[in-house]
Amino acid sequence: MTLENDMKEQLIERAVLARRWSYSPYSRYAVGAALLTRSGKIYDGVNIENAALPSTICAERVAVFKAVSEGEREFTAIAVVTENGGSPCGGCRQVLAEFGLETLVMLANGEGKQTGEYQLKDLLPDAFTPDKLAS
Ligand code: THU
């Protein structure tokens, strides 16, 4: 999926801004995400940690769940911002894969400098997708 440069910048900027709201007192690793729907809306998300550590949720999943809970299921791109340009975890790759392997995944650091760009299918080869359950 090709995306205009100004849309890429806008998406990264939204993820940078969202990151301020990360609730990450345990890891101190703040993550911001911004998800672009095919209809042109942007849903952002942050990681939300919990004293019961496994109850933590990642920023990407918050963005996806916010969007899906409002009726969106088609995603064009997601920007993920961390201090060091970290890449989405396996669980978030799987959650994104549910809605399409073409989604563009952009990574950026805390200053909003883009550090990587992938298609989801390259981050999650041979993904387990909904069609695998259809018999
Ligand atoms: N985290 C995310 O928000 N997204 C990822 O893809 C990787 C990890 C969060 C979870 C936790 O709050 C912190 O980063 C450290 O793992």
Name the catalytic one among 4, 9, 49, 60: 60
For position 29, what pLDDT does the model report? 98
Q: Cβ(31) to ligand 1 under 6 A?
A: yes
For residue 95, give the amino acid letter.
V
For position 65, what pLDDT does the model report? 98
Residue 20 has pLDDT above 60, yes or no: yes
User: Which tokens belong to 134?
Assistant: 């259809």
Confidence of residue 1 (pLDDT cuts 50, 70, 90): low
For position 134, what pLDDT does the model report? 87
Instruction: Tell me how far apart the alpha carbons of residues 133 and 45 are, in angstroms, rounded to a whole number.
Output: 29
Active site includes 60? yes
Per residue in 51-99, pLDDT (tens digit) is: 999 999 999 999 999 999 999 999 999 999 999 999 999 999 999 999 9
59-68 and 90-97 helices cross at what angle (nearest 10)?
20
25 alpha carbon to ligand 1 midpoint, in Å?
12
Residue 106 has pLDDT above 70, yes or no: yes
For position 131, what pLDDT does the model report? 95
47 with 24: CB under 8 angstroms?
Answer: yes
Instruction: Tell me how far apart the alpha carbons of residues 77 and 45 are, in angstroms, rounded to a whole number.
Output: 14
Residue 135 has pLDDT above 80, yes or no: no
Instruction: Tell me how far apart the alpha carbons of residues 38 and 44 are, in angstroms, rounded to a whole number.
Output: 15
